[in-house]
Amino acid sequence: RKEVEQDPGPFNVPEGATVAFNCTYSNSASQSFFWYRQDCRKEPKLLMSVYSSGNEDGRFTAQLNRASQYISLLIRDSKLSDSATYLCVVTTSETYKYIFGTGTRLKVLA
Amino acid sequence: GAGVSQSPSNKVTEKGKDVELRCDPISGHTALYWYRQSLGQGLEFLIYFQGNSAPDKSGLPSDRFSAERTGGSVSTLTIQRTQQEDSAVYLCASSSMDGAEAFFGQGTRLTVV
């Protein structure tokens, strides 16, 4: 089983739609969680950290479920510019090594 | 500099040659990561440096790959006797502390012909 798993997609959604991605992780000692965004042929950039209490940044909401070992990202009112690959990242308290999921591709359609 | 800097941005090399890829992390960042990304694929972890601790080399795919980090700052990834399957984008990232946000450089696109 991979340490971090994501549905690769692509998720094709119309503008204005709400879309949600999940990411599961296998190590219960995982400590820090992030969502990164990667545009085509660009480097990944931090979208948001994921806190235990959940957090929201504009149209984006991230949640953590430690019991079921998954994190989620919700995007409301999708824009064309949201089209990208969304990468789930997990670190553990043992190594702090960043472990990336393979990413979920999102295409927002006009 | 303000961000993570990688050089060269592009490198074309002949099969069998050695290459060196450089990463200048953000000043003061103690953690430095190297990843590899093949076209259309996810990020493959290569190596992780944290302060003065022994590096985590568990992701290096073969003994042709090695990396150093001098003075806790600049890092060099060396690939010896390059093969065509080494063609990929090599990404470097740094972070200020364990578990903090990592910032990526723009990568080095390596093409082995």
Q: What is the pLDDT of residue A76?
A: 98
Query: In this complex, which of A93, A98, A102 lies closest to B33 when CB atoms are compared?
Result: A98
Interatomic CA distance for residues A103 and A101, integer angstroms = 5
Q: What is the pLDDT of residue B1?
A: 53
Question: What residues does B31 pair with on adjacent strands?
Answer: B50, B95
Higher per-residue pLDDT: B76 or A2: B76
Ordered DSSP codes for chain A: --SEEE----EEEETT--EEEEEEES-TTEEEEEEEEE-TTS--EEEEEE-TT-EEETTEEEEEETTTTEEEEEE-S--GGG-EEEEEEEEETTT---EE---EEEEEE-
Average pLDDT on A24-44 reads: 92
* Spatial CA neighbour of B92 closest among B80, B108, B72, B70: B108
Chain B residues inside the 8 Å CB shell of A31: 99
**Contacts A–B by Cβ distance under 8 A:** 49
Provide the token pair at A5: 């798993």
Chain B residues inside the 8 Å CB shell of A87: 42-43
* Spatial CA neighbour of B9 closest among B91, B90, B108: B108
Q: What is the pLDDT of residue A27?
A: 87
The C-alpha angle B43, A104, B11, rounded to 5 degrees, equals: 35
Contact flag B45-A98 (C-beta cutoff 8 Å):
yes
Q: What is the pLDDT of residue B98?
A: 67
A8-24 tens-digit pLDDT: 889 999 999 999 999 99
A36-92 tens-digit pLDDT: 999 998 999 999 999 888 899 999 999 999 999 999 999 999 999 999 999 999 987
Chain B residues inside the 8 Å CB shell of A34: 101
Q: What is the pLDDT of residue B47?
A: 95
Q: What is the pLDDT of residue A51?
A: 86
Which pLDDT band holds residue A96 (cuts at 50, 70, 90)? confident
Give mean pLDDT in consecutive 10-residue pieces for chain B, a chain of 113 residues. Answer: 90 98 94 93 91 90 95 93 97 86 95 98
Query: In this complex, which of B41, B102, B107 lies closest to A98 when CB atoms are compared?
Result: B102
Q: What is the pLDDT of residue A79?
A: 98
